[in-house]
Amino acid sequence: MSPAAEAKTSHGAASAGLWQIAVGDELLEGRTVDSNSRRVQRALGGGLRARGIQVVPDRPAEIVAALDRTAPGGLVVVTGGLGSTPDDRTREAVAQWASVPLPENAGLRAELEERAHRRGLRAKAVFAALASQAQVPAGLTPLRNPVGSAPGLVGELRGRLLVVLPGVPAELEGLLPGVIAWLRERVALPVDSPVELWRTAQRGELAVVASCAPVRERHPELAWSWWLSRWGVDVRIAAPGATSGGPAPGHLAAAAAELAPLLDPVSYGRDAAVELPAAVHARLQRRGATVGVAESCTGGLLAATLTDTPGASRSFRGAIVSYADDVKVSQLAVAGELLRRHGAVSGPVAEAMATGVQERLGVDYALAVTGIAGPDGGTDAKPVGTTWIGLATPSAVWTRRYRFPADRERNRDLAVAAALDTLRRALDDADPSALWLAGDSWAASDPSGGGR
Ligand code: ATP
């Protein structure tokens, strides 16, 4: 048996499971939420279920105690505390836990110093701090960090496969491909159970769960879950243990076929990696079409969200943020009479904003958002959360009133999601009656225009 194969069998498929430890005082003080554990799980492919995620302070004794709680044969991933400041104690804790020395790695030190020189750093204190970053517990190997200075550390200690990564998310992400390659040489990473996924928008969680109910009742053998995303709700059904006595993959396919007519119309995609703005851009780009937006209550958030997607410039032309009424008049040619008669948060104004920006920016599709995000500004007739969304297409203009149920931040997010998904539906289906469907949670039932 080759050494690589021996190494693979000695750990089985990381038979004692995955153990994650997130180190950092800021995680316990609520200043930062641990999102690194999710990043690590995603990179691992989702087939290795975490036995536990421990969040511990930057104190060696607590890090050691957390390492003690992991099981031999496991894959242990520690994130955070690898920097060069005095509160970064993870290296020291790992060496203490494994009872191994913590020598300086001369090659690593030279690399870190050269990098500091290249960045124009000269201060003595910086170079002194680098010395601690060059310490590597005996038995671990540094993995070069393509993004920041702190290297990752990988190796086998006390019968565990140990991976130690910096806490800064971008640095961690930069190291993950190298970590996965290293792991694959040692263990057969289990594959995730087969999964069917629908990503939906414009419906609340309970409404989505209700639409799945008939199929769920017929397929209780599958694992059903509903996850909130920034845009709406993701529906995920899995066939756990399909390879070891669980439901046959055929059950999953059958359930998916039954679910498709219910979820396809409200779904912007089936791929966990494709977010709603990217889904909108892909559709626009397939048509060679452009989009522009006119924003009031979202204050540029819709435009910022559209530009989060790399390559957005091929379909997004720009935005007019018209927060004040006179800006709506001067920049979007909204008639002052409409504002006086209906108010800024109204269907006619949303329509005029959409057509105004369509014309000013010369785009094929235009979205407009005008609403009362809260906490103040609501009235009996137009309570907080009331928002009009307008959509101008090459052939028609549509408006819809929404009543979002949350606070300012979430209401603005929901408005952005609803606007993007309305455009997505228009691009998917030329039939305008599919822009708003029965069961959409926040769309009110006012007539929605359609003429010019
Ligand atoms: P450095 O000290 O060089 O910045 P490090 O490896 O020591 O890197 P930490 O000091 O623990 O990392 O964390 C740096 C920053 O990274 C934190 O202030 C926090 O913003 C972020 N961070 C750390 N751990 C996590 C985590 N588990 N999830 C999300 N962000 C994190």
In this structure, the residue with its CA closest to atom 4 of ligand 1 is 83
DSSP β-bridge partners for residue 78: 21, 164
Lowest-confidence pick of 120-134, 273-287, 381-395? 120-134
Q: Are 158 and 74 in contact (CB under 8 A)?
A: no
Whether 270 shows a pLDDT value over 90: the answer reads yes
pLDDT per position as a tens digit, 397-445: 999 999 999 899 999 999 999 999 999 999 997 677 789 888 899 888 6
Question: What percent of the chain is modeled with pLDDT above 70?
Answer: 92
Lowest-confidence pick of 59-63, 156-160, 442-446? 442-446
Whole-angstrom distance, CA of residue 54 vs CA of residue 66: 7
H-helix segments, 288-407:
301-306, 325-332, 336-342, 347-361
Instruction: Kindly report the number of other CB atoms within 10 A of residue 310's CB atom.
Output: 8
- Ligand 1 geometric centre to CA of 32 (Å): 9
Lowest-confidence pick of 93-102, 212-221, 242-251, 398-407? 242-251
The long-range contacts involving 31-38, CB below 8 angstroms and separated by at least 24 positions, are 35/169, 36/79, 36/80, 36/165, 36/167, 36/169, 36/172, 37/77, 37/79
pLDDT, position 244: 54
Whether 245 shows a pLDDT value over 70: the answer reads no
Most confident of 73-87, 139-153, 317-331, 368-382: 317-331
Measured from the Cα of 150, ligand 1's closest atom is: 3
SS3 90: helix
Whether 246 shows a pLDDT value over 70: the answer reads no
Q: What share of the chain is helix, strand, coil (3-state, %, to 5)?
A: 40, 20, 40
Closest CA to 230 of 173, 304, 296: 304
The residue assigned the tokens 């235009």 is 366
For residue 36 and ligand 1, the question of a CB distance below 6 A is answered with: yes
Instruction: Work out the burial of residue 403: count CB atoms within 10 Å of its CB; fewer than 13 is exposed, 13-18 middle, 19 or more buried.
Output: middle
DSSP β-bridge partners for residue 162: 76, 155
Whole-angstrom distance, CA of residue 280 vs CA of residue 274: 10
For residue 313 and ligand 1, the question of a CB distance below 6 A is answered with: no
For residue 279 and ligand 1, the question of a CB distance below 6 A is answered with: no
SS3 23: strand
pLDDT, position 195: 87
Measured from the Cα of 90, ligand 1's closest atom is: 7
pLDDT per position as a tens digit, 289-303: 999 999 999 999 999
- Ligand 1 geometric centre to CA of 248 (Å): 42
The bridge status of strand 223-228 relative to strand 232-238 is antiparallel
Whether 6 shows a pLDDT value over 50: the answer reads no
pLDDT, position 3: 37
Question: What percent of the chain is modeled with pLDDT above 90?
Answer: 70
For residue 151 and ligand 1, the question of a CB distance below 6 A is answered with: no
Per-residue pLDDT, averaged over 119-123, amounts to 79
pLDDT, position 17: 87
Per-residue pLDDT, averaged over 215-223, amounts to 93
In this structure, the residue with its CA closest to atom 15 of ligand 1 is 168
Q: Full-prediction pTM beyond 0.75?
A: no
- Ligand 1 geometric centre to CA of 145 (Å): 15
SS3 248: coil
pLDDT, position 9: 41
